[in-house]
Amino acid sequence: MLTRNLLPRSAVAVVLALAVGASTTPANASTPGPADLRRVVESLSGPDGAPGALVRVHGRHGSLTATGGVADTRTNTPVDPRSRFRIGSLTKPFVATVVLQLVGEGRIELDAPVERYLPGVVRGADNDGRQITVRQLLQHTSGLPDVLDYLSPLDVLKDPLRHWEARELVDIALPHPREFEPGKGWGYSNTNYLLAGMIIDTVTGRPWGEEIRERVIRPLGLHDTFAPTDAPGIPGPHPRGYVRPQSELVDVTRLNPTVGGAAGGMISSAADLNRFLAAVLRGRLLEPALLREMLATRPTGRTSGSEYGLGLEWIPVENSSTCKDGFWGHDGDMLGFSVRTGATTHGRQATVMVNLNPGGGPALDEAMKAALPDALCGR
């Protein structure tokens, strides 16, 4: 399924021609077009893929949305291009933005120890909040163990509607050894952002989700974006979310999002994610000095050659005139959904979503790895 909006009249003609199977090549072959997006969703929702997929690209001339597969395996309802879905770790750029706003207001210091804001919370055999800074939480250089190494999807599926406190999740991780000394390495850890959310709560006196709503969601008019409460449903049009613990799909759409919290509990849409990422990179949410802090990266050691700032990752891309040398983005995985979003520095954004996580298998993993660069940069 392919939709379009805000396109010049000449582009609409191209979309309609492609929809009926005409062979047309975009004027700039490196710029992704309807055929590129259709190819991406087919790779994601084919026989070895997810039940359904959605890809949305926004550029200077408007937006294109492509969908494939089904939103519901029981009814075979197609994926709605306006779909909302759980965004998992794409919650982290929202949290990092609010922390940096509080830095700008003088209420948080980036290089202050976590202990200043959360006395006695980060204590363990070798995990000490007096040695770890707020910056290290946001950049994943704290060395703290990841709670998801000790809380598996199967553990959550035993009681998907259970409420989780952030401190409870942190306390699952902290008894375990740190990965490295603070500041001496890079290691992705959801524990870091659970703590960042707790710092927002402490400094402002309000839940981190309310701060995101007031500071980001409302100013940008993100009508499909929600910070978590205990509500297990996804309001508005949405695909069902699935996991595949064995051979059969299991519907996990109804889930208490507190299990993700500030590390991964939010809901949004492709249009809203694209709008948010564009606003961040254009400086609408952060003063220039704070945006420079966010975009100051260090290598992750991943095979992609990516580098991580404060809540955003720089992903290099070779041989692309559309993306030049790379783009900014983030991954987001939550039970039932897998999401990728990215933006170039010259005004193009893309979001990719499938309604299966985990259990998609190697073929879907490879398709997801390629989907965002293909949608954003073209082939």
- Of residues 271, 190, 258, the one with CA closest to residue 228: 258
Is 58 within 8 Å of 305 (Cβ atoms)? no
What per-residue confidence (pLDDT) applies to 22? 23
Q: How many CA atoms lie within 13 A of 254 on its CB side?
A: 4
- The C-alpha R_g of the chain, in whole angstroms, comes to 20
Return d(Cα 336, Cα 345) in angstroms, integer.
31
89 is catalytic: yes
Residue 222, CB-side half-sphere exposure with 13 Å CA sphere: 28
Rounded CA gap, 72 and 58, in Å?
26
Q: Which residues pair with 267 in a beta bridge?
A: 86, 226
Backbone angles phi, psi at 316, to 5 degrees: -75, 150
- Find the angle CA(270)-CA(232)-CA(145) to the nearest 5 degrees: 80
Output the pLDDT for position 105: 98
Amino acid at 358: P
Full-model pTM: 0.91
Position 112, amino acid: A
Q: Tell me what pLDDT residue 3 has.
A: 38
- Please give the Cα distance from 303 to 271 (Å, whole number): 29
Cβ–Cβ contacts within 10 Å for residue 244, how many? 16
Neighbour-count burial of 109, counting CB atoms closer than 10 A to its CB (0-12 exposed, 13-18 middle, 19+ buried): middle
Active-site residue, from 89, 268, 269, 320 = 89
Q: Please report, in tens digits, the pLDDT of each residue of the chain (379 residues total).
A: 443 343 332 232 222 222 222 222 333 434 566 778 999 999 999 888 999 999 999 988 789 999 999 999 999 999 999 999 999 999 999 999 999 999 999 999 999 999 999 999 998 767 888 899 999 999 999 999 999 999 999 899 999 999 999 999 999 999 999 999 999 999 999 999 999 999 999 999 999 999 999 999 999 999 999 997 899 999 999 999 999 988 899 999 999 999 999 999 999 999 999 999 999 999 999 999 999 999 999 999 999 999 999 999 999 998 776 787 899 999 999 999 999 999 998 889 999 999 999 999 999 999 999 999 999 987 5
CA distance 96 to 99: 5
Domains and CATH numbers, the chain: 84-315 (3.40.710.10)
**Angle, alpha carbons 111-113-115 (nearest 5°):** 160
Burial state string for 219-235 with b = 16 or more CB within 10 A and e = fewer than 16 = ebebebbbbbeeeeebe
Q: What is the pLDDT of residue 250?
A: 95
Q: How far apart are CA 59 and CA 62, in angstroms?
A: 5
Closest CA to 345 of 363, 310, 379, 320: 320
Q: How far apart are CA 70 and CA 51, in angstroms?
A: 6
Q: How far is CA 204 from CA 99, 112, 130, 211, in A?
A: 10, 17, 21, 8
d(CA 67, CA 307): 30
The reported pLDDT for the residue numbered 28 is 41
Classify 166 as helix, strand or coil: helix
Would you state the pLDDT for residue 279?
97
Report residue 190 as tokens: 């959801």
Q: In this structure, are residues 48 and 69 in contact, taking their beta carbons and an 8 Å threshold?
A: no
Q: Which helix (H) or strand (E) holds 274?
A: helix 270-281
Strands 62-72 and 242-243: unpaired
For 146, what's the count of Cα atoms within 13 Å in the CB-facing half-sphere? 14
| Residue-by-residue DSSP string for 301-332 | --TT--EE-SS-EEEEEEEETTTEEEEEEEEE
**Nearest one of 58, 49, 65 to 1, comparing CA atoms:** 65
Instruction: Give the C-alpha separation, 3 to 355, whole Å.
Output: 19
Q: What is the pLDDT of residue 246?
A: 86
Dig out the tokens for 247 from the structure.
């051979």
- For residue 341, the SS3 value is strand
Predicted pLDDT of residue 197: 98
